[in-house]
Amino acid sequence: MTEAELSYAAIRGMLKDINDPYAEFIEPEAAQDLIDAFTGNTGVVGLYAENVDEKVVVLEVYPDGPADLAGVEPGDVILSIDEVVLDKDSDSSETGLLIRGAPDTSVVLDLLRDGETFDITIIRQQKRFASSRLLPGRIGYIYLNGFNETATQEMEEALRTVLEEEPIGLLLDLRNNEGGDMDSAQDILSFFIGDGLLFSAELTQGRTVEFFAEGNPVAADIPIVVLMDNSTYSAGETFAAAIAELGRGTTIGSNSYGKGLIQASIPMADGTILQMTVAKWYSSNGEWYQDRGVPPQIEIYDDPATEEDELVQKGIELLLAAP
């Protein structure tokens, strides 16, 4: 074992002794992957897969993304990624790290569908955090999958683009949202909310920081429905809670993940990263949603056996019925 490996093992051993479920020591290669993924400087294929009954199953394929265009379908079982075999313990984090890579490079998925195995080669594309389109009935749809400086810029662009179509309402899809930066959550909430307390953070030293709307919202009055589920994570949960508790819109779906803690990423001189919990976040009503998740105002589930996205359809119904 090298000196670096000994040091890394010692650090991990120390982290196990502290009361922090999110404390993590990340080695240089994985640390760079994490930085690239968070900033958007990485290639993605446009699917979400999770461990279901000890198999990695594709749960969602994003429309017109690389995986969709290559022929991947929800329900496909991923057996291996670039010949790295997945097992009963593989999860969405491992799958995501294996699938991601440099933009414009290829990744090969070995899939199982209807009892048959086959390979699909997918060309990764530059990751985007926000996308928008106009749905029938003049409903604007925006998908947001993270919160950081790039996501804030892309969200504003997507919002302004869809508002040019003069929609009667907006669907904001936060499913499979990986969370991120609370400053970004504040910025993006401020596109829709003009004033008031959005959420707060209680630091480990006992100090509280309050996050207020920044004024001059881009879309202050248009009706909003937020789509959420158990993969709505961290800052995404903060966003959903604020929209519901401040009466700015309606949240539909199922309980969010339940991460009420905030981490800081500390870069080290050797390229490693140390992540430590530094705060708890509380909603505008003072709720702490750790381990229980933010509940939707209307509970509804998407049925993977149907082509229809039940959450989208319910959101459209609510917006069409809005005064």
The whole-number pLDDT of residue 258 equals 96
d(CA 250, CA 268): 42
User: Which of the four pLDDT bands, split at 50, 70 and 90, describes residue 202?
Assistant: very high
d(CA 65, CA 124): 9
pTM of the predicted model as reported, rounded to 2 decimal places: 0.82
Greatest Cα-to-Cα distance within the chain, rounded to the nearest angstrom: 67
**How confident is the model over 18-76, as pLDDT tens digits?**
888 888 888 887 777 777 777 767 888 989 898 899 999 998 888 788 999 999 999 99
**How confident is the model over 233-279, as pLDDT tens digits?**
999 999 999 999 999 999 999 999 999 999 988 888 788 888 889 99
The whole-number pLDDT of residue 78 equals 96
The whole-number pLDDT of residue 197 equals 98
d(CA 113, CA 277): 41
**How confident is the model over 184-199, as pLDDT tens digits?**
999 999 999 999 999 9
The whole-number pLDDT of residue 101 equals 87
Domains of the chain: 43-126 (2.30.42.10), 130-321 (3.90.226.10)
Alpha helices (runs of H) in 171-323, residue ranges in sequence order: 182-189, 235-245, 310-321
For residue 178, pLDDT over 70 is answered with: yes
